[in-house]
Structure 1
Amino acid sequence: MKNIIALFLSFTAVSVFSQQSAIIKLTAEKLHSRVREWPYPLNGITVPTNAPALLWPATNGKDMVKPMESGSEVPEDPNIGNIRYKVMLAGDTNFSKDLIASAEQRWAVYPLHQALKPGKWYWKYGYALKGSTQWTWSPVYDFVVDAKYANEKVSPPVSEVLKRNEGSHPLLWDMNRIGEDFYKNNLNNPEAKKFIAFAEKLMLAPLPTEKPQRVIDTTGKNKLEKKIIIERMYHGFGDAVGNPVRNLCIAYQLTKDERFIQDAKRRALNLAAMNPDGLATGDDFTSGAVLEALGWFYDAGYQFLTPQEKEIFKNIITIRAKRVYNHLPNRFELHVSDNHVWQITLRNLAIATVAVINDVPEAKEWLTYMYEVWSARFPVLGTTDGGWHEGNGYFRVNFKSIIYLSQMFGDFSGVDYFKLPWMENLPYYMLYTHPNGAASTAIGDMWENIPYIVKGEAWFADALTYKMNNPYLNWYVNEIKRDYPSYYHGTDDFLFFRLLNYKPNRNLPVTSPENLPKTRKFGDVGVVAMHEDLAKADKTLSSYLFSSPFGSSGHGHASQNSFTVNYKGKVIFGGTGYYSNFSDKHNLLFYRSSKAYNTILADSLNQKIGEEGYGWIPRAISGKHIQYALGDASNAYGAIKSEFWLDRFKQINVVPSKANGYGESGVTLYRRHMLQLDGGYIVLYDELEAKTPVKWTTQFHCPYYTIKGKNSAKAKQQNFIVQTDLGNVNASVFANTPLKMAVHNQFYEAAVNWNKVTNDEGQIKEFKDQWHAGITSEPKQKLRFLTIIQIKDGKTEVIKTISNKNGLANLQVGEWNIQAQLDGEKKAALQVSGKTLKSLFSYGNLPVQFEGKAYSPKITGSSILLEIEDSRVNQQEAIDELPDVAQYDKN
């Protein structure tokens, strides 16, 4: 443990950032660790709450607990269950004033369920081996509680949660209290009547047997591929056999018709007899779904069970629940996001646990753990901005758990989790990053499965309206319902949530987002969304800049400072490749890598895969005619360090070497300025530096359209067009050094759908070739790229060179004048002005003249935007602003 404490101290000794004028340079190796490596809160930070969760690195008794995830081939540390922790918190370093001392616990989180007085607080944690009285204590850490948070509501202690779950069945969803109201409230609910008719048909289906959902040929596949294919063959089996049990229980609660619960019983007994170690229900997803279904019936149908049948259900629920729970304490709570558990199995376990809370002695510990981790860590892949790190493709997998666990823990605690800051910002994240009628952000695993709003997104957005009073969300849902009426058939996964929260004649105020800011920054997950017209994204121009503080964790990709451009609802520039498996060759060598994205390679090398390869969004400005974002990927490059990802490469016998696109490139600076200008223009300005000269390659990828190169008479300029059915698209790239362009339609590693993955409609996906362009400089230690993209219904304009002196290019395109310092040895500068639209953006040291008057930034190094609004000059100025993790969770 002494070595672990020394490691913690070495982290805390390093300042997260140093500041010069308006620019912040982050120096931490990572902002989010795969498993927690340093305590929180510490270093005297002012926490943004009156009841923080205390977090610390876990130990196995000798060393710090390392990453071990469900579904991973990395073996679990056998000693993680041998540890007990204690926490002490007080208003003084002697721990005598306002002392709060925890009981012993198995897990490394301690959410405070009481409001702390304003002022400075001190805390420490200790650990002991199981059965030992020898405690080893950490150093003392400190933080400050601000008086402005004094009146915030605090979640109750777990003792109150457990007390609320005392009583008779049915306990789930508070049915022993609200069951009669639930029945009466839905008697005239059209959706309930439609569902009851659906349940009548369910009873006619035969009992399921343990067999694959689909058959896939494994001939010629290696051992790992065969294992994955077999899992794929049974994927969804648990839901297929478990959902009917749940639905029949709901039908019984809606009608009190015993036919439904008796058929649920017949099916639940059939599930209880299935082999928990068999192929059909042995993995975490299928077993979890069966576990949830068993919990549903045991709770709803308790009075219809004989004593012997109760024992059968208690025993099989305990077996399956322990298989989940026994691998959680001192491991799961530490992970940045153990995806399978957060997505699905935590919900499965929570439902089954409540069902047996008073009948299985261990269940109280299970619920205590889940409530504490939920209180300390939700939402795991966001903080307050409403965003989700992994992109919208995999965000969908979390929807059911977000809805139902928020409902469940709210029932227990009295806390409205739908009013968390993250929840209240969530509708804006959905609206800005996946507008109705338009494509999404084209980033992260499975983004290609959502070329438009899909069913899960539609149902999730609609479910939120039952708990939120947001007129923009209501508008969004109304638009989706108008365009996709077939999605709403009344038997989807969120039906029960709607029934629980049903109110006849709901009056939902609706407000169009047309007057919302055109640009919105989601800094905690690293996304800026820029829209020409948010209310008509299916007919106009939208663009996105990404740079994530999470790095390429989980289902995220090494796509820092990449961009996406959508036009008339379709992706013009975006990520490329296909999700065939979490870590096959195509995934690790292309789809997940920087080579698949509209970002920059250094000597053809990617950014790091893992939390160490992070970026962030320092600035964004929403204007009337100019939208602006700044991404920083200076920390994203270098050799892969994550043991988890190195193990994934090892599993498929691939080395992340320079020959395969990975390694140390020496990049020290990569700041990308991105502007969306009225009239159909995207401007990129890249500041690039490395320890030694490197060849810089700026990339452009079109997942659906063809790129054609154009000859250029100027060595320092390269041009290409994109052939689309939407209008005219071209791009020009400028630098202060000769450039070479390569245009092709080949993946760095071939895409093969060997796993027979399907789209959202269940059709096997076809992996088509996609087009790519790379524009590469001569070796330079410092370089600037200027890119001008035109996207128009009509003809694009010729870019005129007004002057080019001492590296300062002065260009004219349409009504926009663009000045950019392209000499990497000179101070970076970018200025964009429109005469007719009376707008000016400026960054750097160029003199600012606007409407006959000189302006200067209030803070040196800032980005400023000047626009005329109502005959007055509106001046906005942005300096670097840290994401929450860097402000509060300083290591």
Structure 2
Amino acid sequence: MWSEVYEFEIPPRARRLTTPAAETVLREAAKQRPRLMPTSASVRAIRSSDSQALAQRLYRTTSHLIGQELPDDTAPPAQGDDEYKRMKFARWGSKRLAAQEVSAVEALLCAGLLSGDDRYAEEAIRRAVNVAAWDPDGFTNPVVSDFSDASAMRTMALVYDTCHDQLSGSDRRALAAAISKRCRRFFEGSVNDVEARLFGAHLWQHLLTEFFEASLSLLGDLPEAHAWCRYIYELWVARFPLIAGNDGGWANGPKYFGTNVETLILMNRYFDNLGATEFDRRPWFRNASKFLQCAWPPNAANDGFGDGTELERVPSANHIHWMRYLGHRFSDREALDYVEAWEASGATAPASPRLALDALFWKKPRTTRPVSGIRSHCFQDTGLIMARTTGCEGSNTLRVAFRSSPYGSFNHMHSCQNAFNLFYGGERLFANSGYYVAMADEHAKNWYRDTRGHNTIRLDGQSQTRSPEGYGWIPRYIDGDRVTYWAGDASNAYGDAGLTRYRRHIALLDPNIVVIYDDLEADHAAEWTWQLHAHLKLTYNRRQQTFKTSNAQGPGTLVFASSSAFDVVVGDAFDPPAVNWGGKTYRGEAVEAFPKRWHGSVVTRPIPSVRFLSIVTAGARQPAVRHLKDGSRRVGRWKIEAEMDADQPTRLLITSTQADTALAVNIPETSFRGRTLRARNAAVLVEGTSTKRSVDQLPAAAKALGGSS
């Protein structure tokens, strides 16, 4: 049944993406073979130290594969003490089986192209024919593991396409039949479904690319492959990039961004080779390098937002390769500096053989001016902020990561609107807690990915809604020389819990001070829970209303104030507990149990509205927070005045006693050193002769839908 007809208008100002028609692209594809890998002649024409190094690396890592006994697809005995664990162990085992074969075939084909030695192609053919004999409805079927099914498609497609002229007639028929059976099932399960789905992580990480490769390999040999290729091309035109706006961010977080890198690079190359060259001219690609620079700075911890971030110490080979790709593609000096900084640490891994081979064809980027690093950046479309006290991460740098996302929380995103994570010297200080045990693990669902595991607010014990409707946004942002200010709004993140306003104002002050001012209101007398997490021991001094923790670089202190009476609970227990039943590694090492983490909760009496004020300092020489008689606070050279009466309009004024600097938030009019500041429903930052103003601004996507602030 068809839906009702929807009408929409494309205004003249809409950005245009001019791409060739699908039929034009597919006609060009049909002329080429190979379509997925470079030609042997083009590879052997490259004479560089990089190509020699890759050839030597592949010789060392592939020689043992030749003649090796090949695996069958028999399912191993069930593992796990409940149905979910048995399903996960089977899925992981199936994925691992197909992944080892596709990795071997990719490496063998690359080695053969670089060396000209036919033994590598012969071994790749032997392995692909073995995979063709696997039962597509057996252990590698997509119900057990969609990754396994897609890896089997890719294994066979690479050999069918790259070694097309070397295949015997029987091998070619066997491969074509096995590929087509898996492709047909994938297509029938995707068409009229994927197009309308908000996001499918596995599809856009790997499956779409591997299905396209399999379809492209059969183009001209199987009539159905034409429709399959056309479907993917038009889907890519219509939908990519998903969970990302123009700002270069990625809503699923930095860890899982790495799983999309191969698709991003290879799909663009395929379409480039077929004459569709417009895709990476979109603003997202041009801004993409800033995301990793901010979310995972060189030689520092990542921002902590999204699944798996706590498990990783350094970016993956894919992350590093992506930044190198952007550096070459767009002559992006910042991206190349990022790569150099991480590689200098000696902790990164080399790119996969296929991506490394692809990189041999990149043009040398133009030399550009050196850069000093990003001090702060707002990804308003994605809903992320990074701000720090220096342009590059150092031993005394205080960094704030903040999330309030229009995408809400689903897939690998967390229910953490208006949450902050604080880092000192590149290491976590006050930051979210919990572990990504598995997608549907009780701890992962009900602590780690839940609001309970983050530095934000709960209402009457309720967490934020886990859905795209449980969203936040960043209405204001000002980047100054001595002050960075922004506001997050999570008023829509709590579903029907009765919350009507949640504005969080944050100011990062030089040298190492953070001010957090919360404005909260509900339609009933609510119990408000303000949450704080720390990686190392967290203590609370009731008389001084002070939380303290530390990391290897130094101590951190948070001084707390509330407009309402409250109780504080501090502990180190997870509920549900974090049990490493799947054998996950932690920061590159095998662990039986995950390290414990510390949590603090401030719980108010039931009240309709409340204000919280937190002042954070870090480092060995922290200035004391002094309470003045007029109700303001003095921290070093800064005076902080915040309206703490929840019945009065919000008001925040931060002034410097030593420099001509003032930040006024929601103040109709005030004077500062002979100047009049007007910040009604706005924020105004004065630094010397510079004045910057920020009023509520919707993200670009909301503006495009006709929204207003």
Query: TM-score, normalising length from structure 1?
Result: 0.76
Tell me what 2:26 maps to: 162
How much has 1:466 moved relative to structure 2?
A: 3.0
Aligned 8 A contact 1:628 1:676 in 2: yes
Tell me what 1:279 maps to: 139
2:674 maps to 1:855: no
How much has 1:459 moved relative to structure 2?
A: 2.7
Aligned 8 A contact 2:524 2:608 in 1: yes
Q: How does 1:508-519 map to 2 (within 5 A)?
A: 508-509=367-368, 511-514=370-373, 516=374, 518-519=375-376
Secondary structure of the equivalent of 1:882? coil
In 1, the alpha carbon distance for the partners of 2:612 and 2:113 equals 64
Aligned 8 A contact 2:554 2:619 in 1: yes
Residue number among 821, 844, 856 corresponding to 2:643 in the alignment: 821
Tell me what 1:110 maps to: none
2:42 maps to 1:142: no
Residue number among 447, 453, 469 corresponding to 1:596 in the alignment: 453
Aligned 8 A contact 2:334 2:371 in 1: yes
In 2, the alpha carbon distance for the partners of 1:492 and 1:699 equals 45
Tell me what 1:836 maps to: 658
In 1, the alpha carbon distance for the partners of 2:67 and 2:243 equals 39
How much has 1:450 moved relative to structure 2?
A: 2.4
How much has 1:292 moved relative to structure 2?
A: 0.5
2:536 maps to 1:705: yes
Say if 1:291 and 1:752 are closer, same or farther in 2 by CA, change over 3 A.
same
Tell me what 2:360 maps to: 499
The residue type paired with residue 430 of structure 2 is F
The residue type paired with residue 650 of structure 2 is A
Residue number among 881, 884, 888 corresponding to 2:697 in the alignment: 881
The residue type paired with residue 586 of structure 1 is H
2:566 maps to 1:739: yes
Say if 1:168 and 1:452 are closer, same or farther in 2 by CA, change over 3 A.
closer
Say if 1:140 and 1:389 are closer, same or farther in 2 by CA, change over 3 A.
closer
Fraction of identical pairs, as percent: 25
The residue type paired with residue 123 of structure 2 is D
Aligned 8 A contact 2:328 2:365 in 1: no
In 2, the alpha carbon distance for the partners of 1:371 and 1:609 equals 32
2:500 maps to 1:668: yes
How much has 1:410 moved relative to structure 2?
A: 2.4
In 2, the alpha carbon distance for the partners of 1:208 and 1:542 equals 50
Per-residue Cα deviation, 1:710-734 (whole angstroms, up to 9, x for no partner) = 0216xxxx32111333222111111
In 2, the alpha carbon distance for the partners of 1:840 and 1:889 equals 35
How much has 1:272 moved relative to structure 2?
A: 1.2
Tell me what 1:412 maps to: 274
Per-residue Cα deviation, 1:477-506 (whole angstroms, up to 9, x for no partner) = 11112112x6354655521321343x4x76
In 2, the alpha carbon distance for the partners of 1:339 and 1:757 equals 20
Residue number among 676, 687, 707 corresponding to 2:519 in the alignment: 687
Per-residue Cα deviation, 1:357-394 (whole angstroms, up to 9, x for no partner) = 11111111111111111111111110111000011121
How much has 1:169 moved relative to structure 2?
A: 2.4
Tell me what 1:37 maps to: none
How much has 1:211 moved relative to structure 2?
A: 6.4
Tell me what 1:483 maps to: 345
The residue type paired with residue 692 of structure 1 is H
Per-residue Cα deviation, 1:825-861 (whole angstroms, up to 9, x for no partner) = 111100111122331111122643333322224xx31
Tell me what 1:40 maps to: none
Q: How does 1:634-645 map to 2 (within 5 A)?
A: 634-638=491-495
How much has 1:263 moved relative to structure 2?
A: 1.6
In 1, the alpha carbon distance for the partners of 2:47 and 2:381 equals 40
2:308 maps to 1:446: yes
Structure 2 residue runs without a partner (length 5+): none
In 2, the alpha carbon distance for the partners of 1:576 and 1:451 equals 15
In 1, the alpha carbon distance for the partners of 2:434 and 2:73 equals 32
How much has 1:279 moved relative to structure 2?
A: 2.0
Aligned 8 A contact 1:291 1:321 in 2: yes
In 2, the alpha carbon distance for the partners of 1:330 and 1:399 equals 26
2:60 maps to 1:233: no
Aligned 8 A contact 1:390 1:555 in 2: yes
Say if 1:348 and 1:490 are closer, same or farther in 2 by CA, change over 3 A.
closer
2:52 maps to 1:184: no
Tell me what 2:616 maps to: 789
Say if 1:141 and 1:846 are closer, same or farther in 2 by CA, change over 3 A.
closer
Q: How does 1:302-321 map to 2 (within 5 A)?
A: 302-321=164-183
**Larger RCO (CA within 8 A; separation ≥ 6):** 1
How much has 1:759 moved relative to structure 2?
A: 4.3
Say if 1:709 and 1:140 are closer, same or farther in 2 by CA, change over 3 A.
closer
Tell me what 1:752 maps to: 579
Query: Which sits farther off after the overlay, 784-793 or 488-497?
Result: 488-497
Q: How does 1:364-513 map to 2 (within 5 A)?
A: 364-484=226-346, 487-489=348-350, 491-492=352-353, 494-501=355-362, 503=363, 508-509=367-368, 511-513=370-372
How much has 1:766 moved relative to structure 2?
A: 3.0
Residue number among 620, 628, 635 corresponding to 1:801 in the alignment: 628
Say if 1:212 and 1:441 are closer, same or farther in 2 by CA, change over 3 A.
farther
Say if 1:168 and 1:730 are closer, same or farther in 2 by CA, change over 3 A.
closer
Secondary structure of the equivalent of 1:845? strand
How much has 1:254 moved relative to structure 2?
A: 2.7
Say if 1:433 and 1:140 are closer, same or farther in 2 by CA, change over 3 A.
closer
In 2, the alpha carbon distance for the partners of 1:260 and 1:800 equals 74
Tell me what 1:330 maps to: 192
How much has 1:168 moved relative to structure 2?
A: 4.9
Aligned 8 A contact 1:625 1:837 in 2: no
How much has 1:170 moved relative to structure 2?
A: 1.4
Aligned 8 A contact 2:132 2:174 in 1: yes
Secondary structure of the equivalent of 1:232? helix
Per-residue Cα deviation, 1:309-362 (whole angstroms, up to 9, x for no partner) = 211111000011122221111111212211111111111111111111111111
Secondary structure of the equivalent of 1:577? coil
Aligned 8 A contact 2:637 2:657 in 1: yes
2:520 maps to 1:520: no
- Paired residues in the alignment total 704
Query: Which sits farther off after the overlay, 261-270 or 249-258?
Result: 249-258
In 1, the alpha carbon distance for the partners of 2:425 and 2:120 equals 48
The residue type paired with residue 707 of structure 1 is L
Tell me what 1:5 maps to: none
In 2, the alpha carbon distance for the partners of 1:543 and 1:215 equals 47
Say if 1:199 and 1:775 are closer, same or farther in 2 by CA, change over 3 A.
closer
Say if 1:213 and 1:681 are closer, same or farther in 2 by CA, change over 3 A.
farther
How much has 1:864 moved relative to structure 2?
A: 0.7
In 2, the alpha carbon distance for the partners of 1:726 and 1:192 equals 38
Say if 1:579 and 1:493 are closer, same or farther in 2 by CA, change over 3 A.
farther
Secondary structure of the equivalent of 1:185? coil
Tell me what 1:661 maps to: none
Structure 1 residue runs without a partner (length 5+): 1-60, 62-126, 128-135, 639-663, 805-809
Secondary structure of the equivalent of 2:432? coil
How much has 1:614 moved relative to structure 2?
A: 0.6
Tell me what 1:775 maps to: 602
In 2, the alpha carbon distance for the partners of 1:215 and 1:570 equals 42
The residue type paired with residue 370 of structure 2 is T
Aligned 8 A contact 1:195 1:491 in 2: no
Aligned 8 A contact 1:575 1:701 in 2: yes
Say if 1:448 and 1:682 are closer, same or farther in 2 by CA, change over 3 A.
same
Secondary structure of the equivalent of 1:236? helix
Aligned 8 A contact 2:513 2:616 in 1: yes
